[in-house]
Amino acid sequence: MNRKQSEVLYEEALQHIVGGVNSPSRSFKAVGGGAPVFMKKAEGAYFWDVDGNRYVDYLAAYGPIITGHAHPHVTKAITEAAANGTLYGTPTELEIQLAVMLKEAIPSMDKVRFVNSGTEAVMTTIRVARAYTGRNKIIKFAGCYHGHSDLVLVAAGSGPSTLGIPDSAGIPTSIAHEVITVPFNDTTGLQEALEKWGDDVAAVMIEPIVGNFGMVMPKPGFLEDVCRLTHEYGALVIYDEVITAFRFHYGSAQTYAGLDNHDAIKPDLTALGKIIGGGLPIGAYGGSKEIMEKVAPLGPAYQAGTMAGNPASISAGIACLEVLQDPKVYEEMNRLTVKLTDGLAESAKRHGVPLTINRIRGSFSTHFCDHPVTNYDEAQDTDGEAFAAFFRAMLNRGVNLAPSKFEAWFLTTAHTEADIDFTLEAAEASFKEISGK
Ligand code: PMP
């Protein structure tokens, strides 16, 4: 496949944009380097690059594009909103409409506030939790990504009862020392951390279903334990549902049927983003009335945003959720994903490539290893070189995946049976190529 024009543009981009990309996850550094593909057009399940090559897309822009690219209902909503003015700096009726839709789908949120990204949503939930509890520390789980704000870009120390170390230059050690990282799916680790630091902990932050070191379900009872233990120590539970909300069903991980005991896993605050903006920039956070009343203008926790709640993002979000209100769309994504993952597993097996697939409804991850992945340590065994070879082999056959060994594959409402067949043919040839047979 000829990608000359992408190479030319990458050389040019490198001269003007740091690293040639506007988010490090778009670089091909983790898959052996070189020019990332410069896309020119996206429609439905497909991308076309600047050289005219077509790709079936499973990146879905890291999650938000669940209705496929340029879905007519979403595009119409954005066009109409833009024609009425893109940014007001005043309240609009549309914001109430999306807030009500979110509250109805995620009942733990009495009150909502819109922001511009998942990073902002998470960052603010931490401030609100600190304002509410009067405490400073947070506990998070290894491998979960919560955006790029200081407090959540902190890795584990050497054990569950040690303080964190910065994961990025530019984060003061004093901030990292406010963070404790424990393994996902490990109740004992959380208990030990709470025993040691509990009285200073404002919040326990968790992806209730993980989307950032693959797709990983909490073990039965784990979220119940997280909520019970956290509350025992007077801290708040924050669910980062930036990836998971509206991904598996019309609702969030906390209302997902696979996690049966809804009341026992109810968080105090929830951070949202991605799908709720239908492909335009958005974030939101919400929780009980009592906690959310800590936020300005009602309370002492300040948070603001020039672009927050802009009519284009809100309209795109409403339109996207309207498409998702039909339960059939989730059933179809689920059906196609089962076919795809079954086919991938068979193909990998046929060619002797170790592959662990974690599927949750219309999303799944592929770890190139031969054991289950239930936490970050297990995920790290994935063979990065095998993944990189597979990623490139698939790209060369017209299938676009995220250039990261941990990132999920996302189905959209636009994918068809024919796309799955095309992908499985590409996978069969790719597994054969990388296994050297
Ligand atoms: N939380 C989670 C769980 C995420 O996956 C991400 C982004 N991948 C974020 C927060 C940050 O969202 P954003 O990129 O919109 O700032």
Tell the burial category of 224 from Cβ atoms under 10 Å away from its Cβ (0-12, 13-18, 19+): middle
**Best CA proximity match to 6, nearest among 62, 64, 47, 65:** 47
How many angstroms does the Cα of residue 346 sit away from the middle of ligand 1? 32
Between 327-350 and 311-324, two packed helices, what is the crossing angle to 10 degrees?
80
Pocket test for ligand 1, best of 115, 146, 280 (most atoms within 8 A of CB): 146
CA neighbours within 13 Å on the CB side: how many for 393?
A: 20
Q: pLDDT confidence of 2, banded at 50, 70, 90?
A: very high
CA 319 and chain centroid, separation: 20
Cα–Cα distance measured from residue 214 to residue 115, given in angstroms and rounded to the nearest whole number? 26
CB 230 within 8 A of CB 204: yes
The architecture that CATH gives domain 72-325 is 3-Layer(aba) Sandwich (3.40)
Question: How many C-beta neighbours within 10 Å does residue 16 have?
Answer: 7
Domain spanning 4-70+326-436: which superfamily? Aspartate Aminotransferase, domain 1 (3.90.1150.10)
417-427 pLDDT, tens digit per residue, is 999 999 999 99
Sheet of 39-43: strands edge to edge? Answer: 39-43, 46-49, 54-57, 399-400
Q: What is the pLDDT of residue 420?
A: 98
Structure confidence at residue 202 (pLDDT): 98
Identify any residues that bridge with 364 across adjacent strands, giving them in sequence order.
Answer: 359, 409
What is the whole-number distance in angstroms between the Cα of residue 285 and the centre of ligand 1? 13
Q: Is 16 helix (H, G, I), strand (E, B) or coil?
A: helix
Mean pLDDT confidence for 185-210:
97
Q: At 134, give phi and psi (nearest 5°).
A: 70, 20
- Closest by alpha carbon to 360, among 223, 241, 220, 256? 256
Ligand 1 atom with the smallest distance to the CA of 118 is 12
Ligand 1 pocket test target in 242, 363, 365 with most atoms within 8 Å of CB: 242
> Residues 6 or more apart from 1 whose CB is under 8 A from it?
53, 395, 396, 397, 398
Examine the pLDDT at 159 and tell me if it is beyond 90: no
Domain boundaries, the chain: 4-70+326-436, 72-325
Q: If you search the block for the tokens 């379900």, which residue do you land on?
A: 217
The pLDDT of residue 258 is 86
Q: How confident is the model at residue 160 (pLDDT cuts 50, 70, 90)?
A: very low
CA 268 to chain centroid, in Å, comes to 20
pLDDT at 437: 58
404 CA → ligand 1 middle, Å:
15
72 CB neighbour count, 10 Å cutoff: 12
Any idea which of 109-113, 158-162, 228-232, 354-358 has the lowest mean pLDDT?
A: 158-162
Residue from 320, 336, 312 nearest 70 by CA: 320
Prediction ipTM score: 0.99
Q: Which atom of ligand 1 is nearest to the CA of 122?
A: 10
Q: Atom 13, ligand 1: which residue's CA is nearest?
A: 118
351, two tokens: 């060619």
Mean per-residue pLDDT over the chain, rounded: 96
Mutate to test the pocket of ligand 1, among 62, 141, 145, 216 (most ligand atoms within 8 A of CB): 145
pLDDT in tens, 110-144: 999 999 999 999 999 999 999 999 999 999 999 99
The alpha carbon torsion through 329, 372, 387, 27 (nearest 10 deg) reads 70
User: What is the band of 162 on the pLDDT scale with cuts at 50, 70, 90?
Assistant: low
Q: What ligand 1 atom has the least distance to the C-alpha of 63? A: 8
Q: Whose CA is nearest to atom 12 of ligand 1?
A: 118
In the prediction, which pLDDT does 155 show?
79
pLDDT band at residue 30 using 50, 70 and 90 as cut-offs: very high
Q: Whose CA is nearest to atom 9 of ligand 1?
A: 147
Q: Which helix (DSSP H) or strand (DSSP E) does residue 175 occupy?
A: helix 173-176
Handedness of CA 142, 143, 144, 147 (dihedral sign): positive
Q: Locate 343 and state its tokens.
A: 């086919």
Q: Which residues line ligand 1 (CB under 6 A)?
A: 62, 117-119, 122, 145-147, 207, 211-212, 240, 242-243, 273
- Does pLDDT of 246 surpass 50? yes
47-97: per-residue pLDDT in tens?
A: 999 999 999 999 999 999 999 999 999 999 999 999 999 999 999 999 999
C-alpha 235/C-alpha 228 separation (Å) is: 10
pLDDT, residue 260, reads 85
Work out the pLDDT band at 396, boundaries 50, 70, 90. very high
Q: Which ligand 1 atom minimizes the distance to the CA of 273?
A: 15
270 C-alpha to ligand 1 centroid (Å): 13
257-304 pLDDT, tens digit per residue, is 888 888 999 999 999 999 999 999 999 999 999 999 999 999 999 999
Confidence (pTM): 0.97
Question: Among residues 19, 28, 35, 37, which one has the least CA distance to residue 403?
Answer: 28
Q: How many CA atoms lie within 13 A of 143 on its CB side?
A: 23
User: For residue 3, is pLDDT > 70?
Assistant: yes
Pairwise CA distance, residues 317 & 276, whole Å:
5
Structure tokens at 371: 């054991």
Of all residues in the chain, the percent with pLDDT exceeding 70 is 98
> In whole angstroms, what is the distance from residue 118 CA to residue 33 CA?
27
Q: 240: CA distance to ligand 1 center in Å?
A: 8
Quote the ligand 1 centre to 432 CA distance (angstroms). Answer: 34
Catalytic site positions: 145, 240, 274
- Give which of 65, 62, 47, 55 is closest to 422, Cα–Cα: 55
Task: Identify the pLDDT of residue 165.
Answer: 79
| Contacts (Cβ under 8 Å, ≥6 apart) of 152 | 122, 123, 126, 138, 140, 145, 146, 179, 205
Give, for 39, the enclosing helix (H) or strand (E): strand 39-43
